[in-house]
Amino acid sequence: MAGYAAIVKKDLMLEVRGGRITTVLVSLALLVLVVLVFAFDRAVAQGPDTAAGALWIALVFAGMLGATRVVLSEQENGCLRALLLSPLDRATIYAAKLTASFGFMVGAAIAATILAMLFFNLEFSMSLAALMLVLILGALGFSALATLLAVIAARARGGELLLPLLIVPLFVPALIAGVKASAAVLSGAALATSRDWVGILIAFDVLFVTAGYLLFEHVVGEE
């Protein structure tokens, strides 16, 4: 736990000092939402279905560019090699990187939610608590998937171009479930009515968090 806490603290301290990842996540989410608002017809864009879809698209694009920087930045300056040479278990390194990515994704989700509520003229109500639960479940699964695949992309030529091709198809089931559950919540329905969609998100989280924890040692190989 000491090694895990040290890595997480290091990532958070670097972000507090530089703020690059958070800035990228929030800025890209804002740009995506602005583009979608102008692309949709004004009458259609007021509905919860459109708002939910735009919110998740913003999170996916922001996550692909920003959350994976937690791993790729280590590769660029050689810190990943140093971490692998340390006595820490490699699964612990994965857990720490996942925690940092998840924290950044949650921050982006909060900012994107506020922006989406303003852009799509939705009311701030108690449904936001249920919406944030859905988004947190989605952010956890996306972070687990992105952290694992970012290591693969970092070792491949043109990895940053390859990364979206790996992440998006695998994340589609969780994306569909997240959009459906978010739309139901924004329309005023109780979260219990979307328990099947929430169940898919939970299953996705369990699958990829476990897969990442077990496979990270084999994926990272001998750096």
Would you state the pLDDT for residue 217? 74
Sorting pLDDT into bands at 50, 70 and 90, what band is 76? low
| Per-residue CA distances from 94 to 2, 170, 191, 202 (Å) | 14, 19, 31, 20
Would you state the pLDDT for residue 23? 72
- State the Cα–Cα distance between residues 203 and 68, nearest whole angstrom: 22
Would you state the pLDDT for residue 151? 76
Would you state the pLDDT for residue 29? 75
pLDDT, tens only, 3-50: 667 766 766 776 666 666 667 777 777 777 777 777 766 555 566 777
pLDDT, tens only, 148-178: 887 777 666 665 677 778 888 888 889 899 8
CB 174 within 8 A of CB 141: yes
Q: What is the mean pLDDT of residues 101-105?
A: 81
Phi, psi of 43 (to 5 degrees): -70, -40
- Percent of the chain whose predicted confidence (pLDDT) is above 70: 74
- State the Cα–Cα distance between residues 7 and 85, nearest whole angstrom: 14
| Per-residue CA distances from 24 to 29, 31, 56, 86, 193 (Å) | 8, 10, 16, 30, 34
- Percent of the chain whose predicted confidence (pLDDT) is above 90: 5
Contacts of 145 (CB under 8 A, 6+ apart): 167, 170, 171, 208, 212
Question: Cα 48–173–46 angle (5° rounding)?
Answer: 10
Judged by average pLDDT, the poorest of 160-164, 172-176, 193-197, 202-206 is 160-164
